[in-house]
């Protein structure tokens, strides 16, 4: 019996292939966007876990020499004493105009190095023996191919980020001409028990113990949550299509359901049939969605990997692996989505009286009571959104706020539109205009799902667009302030640093040392910089809050500036002492914005830095103030005089361009998801309008019979789609702006530690309005065209048929 009932219900889709396509495409798109985000997150998590596992629980000690290089014999001594130590060389491999980051490791000496070579991928005898092998990401291999004649064989490895080249330490030493010098010794601290302490074995070396993989997971957690939230929003928008398609199918199958019941099919059989049908859809759409999601994730992953590297220094593979956790989650969300979208239809089928009307009720006038209820729920959700920041904090609370806001706006939209149409009905005069508004109001229940989807997509677009644009504007201004010097010079060692400083003193307007040391800042690991007293800082440095005499106190060594993220995390107040490691403190005299840096940072007077951190200060970098017209000549003079590294002298414009390119790449993923969500919403409009068009004839036939031509009716259909798109856009505008505010003032602060000012971009909104109207008109065009071409016979049939 269930087979017959199921076949009878499924036969509906055979007669409505367009509707079936709408449902499957909607669910597939929703699943695809969700799956793509999950795939990206899973890939990133796997990279963190792999690194963490290889590092024996995520902790590592690195030894470096204050003077820059370590002799290989030190590493050999540590090995002889039983330490699980591995040498490492880092340098820049300059080939023509391209610079690659070359890393040399000794893969057999320590587990810590295994992480670097992806658990052994590509490590064979050829890697370890001359001429060696260079491992690089597939994209980097292409860049290296042009210089193959000068290099050892190159091999692609999906484990490495773009631009990085990994090789055996002997090969790296040869390519960088390092001889017996290495840069770092990496030590697995788990194996230290019973060994001679490092402080005894290598007292001359600096020791830094980090738990960087755990740190990376913590730092990137916000980013992944951000992506998940966007993925879920896209999924929700896609689900509106499914919900609308399933709802319409229910209305169209109402008479079939009633007939099945009348012929003796028990309710439980009908419910089971509907659930089996939904499950089957979920499996088909889930499979399509997972495949599509794989494609989207593969396309987005390189940008995400770049973002994670740029923002957090996290190394994530640029190539996507098929992992069960994300494709299973894709199927799970497709099944949940299909069942969720079907739930209401199943409930209605289960409770529908046997003798209920079999007529479609897509246009049944939604009662005023229903609109009032929707408005009430919307207001309650808005109130909840307003309360959340008072009740809770954290990124999750931020997203709960956004969810309440968006859900409230979506639920309240039909009531708002009905209210606007009611007011308009009272204001207009003329039979056609009155019929048009009344008919539009009658269509609202059938169109509301698509309009909600459109509103969510528009609000998300406005919100995220405003956030990104505000960020860009602020970031550009901030770069102008932070990068006030015309040239930035990096020297090889302290001796060269002194020589370069002497050279520049005579030729530049000012030489501003950018010296730094690692230190705890208010209990967080970070970096302390020393600055000289100069107008460049007093006039340009982007201070958020400061004492009036902040720069005087910095110059006198009596105060410290900290970056915004340390200030917020530690909850510091001006004048409060800031601990700077080993019991030293200085009062806080100001806070500066420091976008793109997840770590703590502080600024002292230069003398104070050298006094406090003697021996550990990196003194290799300078900012140079010079007449911009003379910058090029000075660059050339510096390069001619000194053997500086390839990136030893960089002009301000290059640094800004690089920073902005990192910024653009960071938000490339957000932009792509934004466009995809809007496309899904446009498809929702198209699907709803085309499906509803097939049921519109009973409303249009009487008006046609009264004297309006089919062409006139078609124009009115187009006008209706445009009007509804404009009204939806108007409703989305305030929601999007509140969303932008929440992202900038709540989510960003929780996720990244900095707060950004909100800027408004009305031209972007107008562009979005034009897009929304265009999407609605395109969606309405096909049904309108079909209406114009409809023969009179079809209108007349309406009067002869049961309705």
Partner 1 sequence: MLIEVDGLEKAYGQGAERQPVLRGVSLGLEPGASLAVTGESGSGKSTLLHLIGLLDTPDAGEIRLKGETVTGLDDAGRALRRRHQVGLVFQQFNLVPSLTVEGNLALQARLAGQHDAEWIDTLADRLGLAAFRQRYPEQLSGGQQQRVAVGRALAARPALLLADEPTGNLDEETSDQVLDLMLELCADAGAGLIMATHSRIAADRLSRRVHLTGGRLS
Binding site for partner 1 (CB under 8 A): 1, 4-5, 8, 11-12, 14-16, 255-256, 258-268, 354-355, 358, 802
Give 46 or 267: the residue with its C-beta nearer to partner 1: 267
List C-alpha distances in Å: 751 to 225, 669, 747: 9, 17, 6
Do residues 525 and 599 make contact, with C-beta atoms less than 8 angstroms apart? yes
Give 12 or 147: the residue with its C-beta nearer to partner 1: 12
Give 254 or 720: the residue with its C-beta nearer to partner 1: 254
- Of 327, 304, 325, 154, the closest CA to residue 227 belongs to 304
DSSP track, 191-232: G-TTSPPHHHH-TTSEEEEE-HHHHHHHHHHHHHHHHHHHHH
Q: Peptide bond before 371: cis, by omega within 30 degrees of 0?
A: no
Give 163 or 358: the residue with its C-beta nearer to partner 1: 358
Shortest distance, position 279 Cβ to partner 1, whole Å: 20
In angstroms, the CA 740 to CA 758 distance is 8
Give 80 or 803: the residue with its C-beta nearer to partner 1: 803
Shortest distance, position 9 Cβ to partner 1, whole Å: 9
The H-or-E segment that residue 553 falls in is helix 550-555
- Of 321, 248, 240, the closest CA to residue 29 belongs to 240
Query: What counts of helices (H) and strands (E) characterise the chain?
Result: 28, 20
- Of 482, 553, 561, the closest CA to residue 522 belongs to 561
Give 149 or 355: the residue with its C-beta nearer to partner 1: 355
Residue 124 C-beta-side C-alpha neighbours within 13 Å: 5
In angstroms, the CA 571 to CA 246 distance is 51
Shortest distance, position 255 Cβ to partner 1, whole Å: 7
Give 534 or 696: the residue with its C-beta nearer to partner 1: 696
Give 582 or 802: the residue with its C-beta nearer to partner 1: 802
Do strands 98-105 and 164-168 pair parallel, antiparallel, or not at all (unpaired)? Answer: parallel
Shortest distance, position 795 Cβ to partner 1, whole Å: 16
Shortest distance, position 259 Cβ to partner 1, whole Å: 5
Give 93 or 260: the residue with its C-beta nearer to partner 1: 260
If phi > 0 it is left, if psi is from -120 to 50 it is alpha, else beta; for residue 718 that is alpha
Shortest distance, position 367 Cβ to partner 1, whole Å: 19
Shortest distance, position 263 Cβ to partner 1, whole Å: 5
Shortest distance, position 223 Cβ to partner 1, whole Å: 48
- DSSP strand E in 26-84: where? 60-64, 70-71
List C-alpha distances in Å: 308 to 13, 45, 228, 348, 598: 45, 12, 15, 47, 11
Shortest distance, position 801 Cβ to partner 1, whole Å: 9
Shortest distance, position 7 Cβ to partner 1, whole Å: 8
- Of 529, 538, 546, 511, the closest CA to residue 612 belongs to 529
- Of 795, 749, 32, 756, the closest CA to residue 397 belongs to 749
Shortest distance, position 363 Cβ to partner 1, whole Å: 19
Shortest distance, position 794 Cβ to partner 1, whole Å: 12
**For 625, phi and psi rounded to 5 degrees?**
-95, 125
Give 16 or 178: the residue with its C-beta nearer to partner 1: 16
Give 15 or 369: the residue with its C-beta nearer to partner 1: 15
**How buried is 262 (Cβ within 10 angstroms: 0-12 exposed, 13-18 middle, 19+ buried)?**
exposed
Give 5 or 406: the residue with its C-beta nearer to partner 1: 5
Do residues 166 and 157 make contact, with C-beta atoms less than 8 angstroms apart? yes
Residue 397 C-beta-side C-alpha neighbours within 13 Å: 13
Shortest distance, position 755 Cβ to partner 1, whole Å: 57
Give 274 or 517: the residue with its C-beta nearer to partner 1: 274
In angstroms, the CA 704 to CA 691 distance is 20
**How buried is 346 (Cβ within 10 angstroms: 0-12 exposed, 13-18 middle, 19+ buried)?**
buried
Q: Round the CA-based radius of gyration of the chain to a whole number and report it.
A: 33
Shortest distance, position 694 Cβ to partner 1, whole Å: 12
Give 8 or 461: the residue with its C-beta nearer to partner 1: 8
- Of 222, 388, 304, the closest CA to residue 748 belongs to 222
């Amino acid at each position: 019996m269930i087979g017959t009932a199921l076949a009878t219900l499924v036969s509906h889709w055979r007669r409505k292939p367009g509707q079936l396509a709408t449902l499957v495409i909607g669910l597939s798109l929703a699943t695809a966007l969700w799956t793509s985000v999950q795939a990206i997150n899973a890939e990133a998590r796997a990279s963190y876990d792999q690194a963490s596992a290889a590092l024996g629980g995520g902790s590592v000690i690195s030894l470096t020499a204050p003077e820059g290089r370590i002799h290989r014999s030190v590493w050999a001594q540590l090995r002889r004493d039983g330490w699980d130590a591995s040498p490492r060389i880092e340098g820049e491999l300059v080939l023509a105009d391209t610079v690659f980051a070359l890393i040399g490791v000794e893969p057999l000496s320590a587990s810590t190095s295994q992480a670097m070579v992806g658990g052994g991928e590509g490590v064979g005898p050829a890697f370890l023996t001359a001429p060696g092998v260079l491992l690089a990401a597939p994209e980097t291999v292409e860049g290296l191919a042009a210089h193959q004649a000068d290099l050892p064989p190159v091999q692609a490895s999906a484990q490495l980020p773009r631009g990085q080249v990994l090789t055996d330490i002997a090969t790296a030493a040869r390519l960088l001409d390092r001889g017996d010098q290495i840069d770092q010794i990496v030590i697995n601290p788990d194996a230290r028990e019973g060994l001679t302490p490092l402080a005894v074995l290598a007292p001359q070396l600096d020791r830094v113990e980090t738990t960087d993989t755990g740190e990376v997971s913590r730092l990137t957690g916000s980013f992944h949550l951000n992506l998940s939230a966007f993925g879920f929003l896209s999924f929700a928008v896609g689900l509106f299509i499914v919900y609308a398609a399933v709802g319409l199918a229910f209305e169209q199958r109402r008479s079939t359901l009633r007939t099945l019941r009348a012929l003796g099919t028990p309710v439980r059989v009908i419910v089971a049939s509907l659930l089996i049908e939904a499950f089957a859809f979920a499996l088909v759409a889930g499979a399509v969605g997972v495949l599509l999601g794989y494609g989207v994730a593969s396309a987005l992953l390189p940008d995400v990997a770049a973002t994670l590297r740029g923002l957090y220094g996290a190394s994530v593979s640029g190539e996507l692996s098929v992992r069960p956790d994300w494709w299973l989650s894709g199927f799970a969300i497709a099944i949940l989505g299909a069942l969720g979208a079907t739930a209401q239809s199943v409930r209605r089928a289960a409770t529908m009286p046997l003798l209920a009307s079999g007529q479609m009720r897509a246009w049944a006038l939604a009662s005023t009571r229903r609109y009032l209820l929707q408005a009430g729920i919307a207001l309650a959700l808005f109130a909840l959104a307003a309360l959340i920041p008072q009740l809770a904090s954290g990124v999750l609370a931020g997203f709960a706020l956004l969810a309440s806001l968006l859900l409230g706006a979506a639920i309240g939209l039909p009531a708002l539109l009905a209210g606007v149409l009611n007011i308009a009905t009272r204001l207009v005069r003329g039979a056609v205009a009155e019929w048009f508004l009344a008919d539009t109001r009658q269509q609202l229940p059938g169109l509301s799902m698509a309009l909600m989807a459109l509103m969510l997509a528009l609000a998300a677009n406005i919100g995220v667009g405003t956030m990104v644009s505000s960020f860009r504007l602020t970031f550009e201004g901030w770069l102008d302030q932070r990068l006030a010097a015309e040239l930035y010079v990096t020297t090889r060692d302290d001796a060269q640093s002194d020589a370069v400083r002497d050279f520049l003193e005579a030729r530049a307007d000012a030489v501003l040392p950018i010296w730094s040391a690692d230190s705890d800042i208010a209990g967080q690991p970070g970096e302390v910089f020393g600055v000289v007293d100069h107008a460049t800082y007093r006039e340009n440095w982007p201070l958020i809050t400061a004492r009036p005499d902040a720069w005087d106190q910095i110059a006198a060594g009596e105060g410290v500036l900290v970056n915004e993220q340390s200030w917020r995390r530690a909850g510091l107040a001006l004048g409060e002492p800031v601990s700077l490691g080993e019991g030293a403190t200085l009062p806080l005299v100001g806070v500066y914005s420091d976008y793109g840096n997840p770590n703590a940072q502080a600024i002292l007077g230069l003398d104070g830095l050298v006094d406090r951190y003697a021996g550990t200060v990196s003194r290799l970098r300078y900012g140079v103030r010079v007449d911009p017209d003379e910058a090029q000549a000075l660059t050339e003079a510096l390069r001619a005089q000194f053997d500086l590294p390839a990136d030893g002298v960089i002009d301000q414009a290059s640094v800004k361009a690089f920073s902005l390119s990192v910024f653009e790449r960071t938000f490339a993923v957000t932009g792509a998801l934004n466009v995809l969500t809007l496309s899904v919403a446009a498809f929702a409009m198209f699907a709803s309008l085309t499906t509803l068009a097939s049921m519109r004839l009973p409303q249009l036939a009487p008006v046609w019979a009264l004297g309006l031509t089919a062409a006139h009716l078609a124009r009115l259909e187009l006008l209706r789609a445009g009007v509804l798109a404009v009204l939806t856009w108007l409703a989305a505008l305030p929601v999007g702006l509140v969303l932008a505010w929440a992202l900038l003032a709540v989510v960003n602060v929780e996720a990244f530690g900095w707060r950004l000012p909100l800027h408004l971009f009305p031209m972007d909104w107008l562009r979005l309005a034009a897009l929304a109207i265009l999407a609605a008109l395109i969606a309405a065009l096909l049904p309108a065209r079909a209406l114009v071409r409809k023969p009179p016979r079809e209108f007349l049939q309406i009067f002869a048929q049961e309705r």
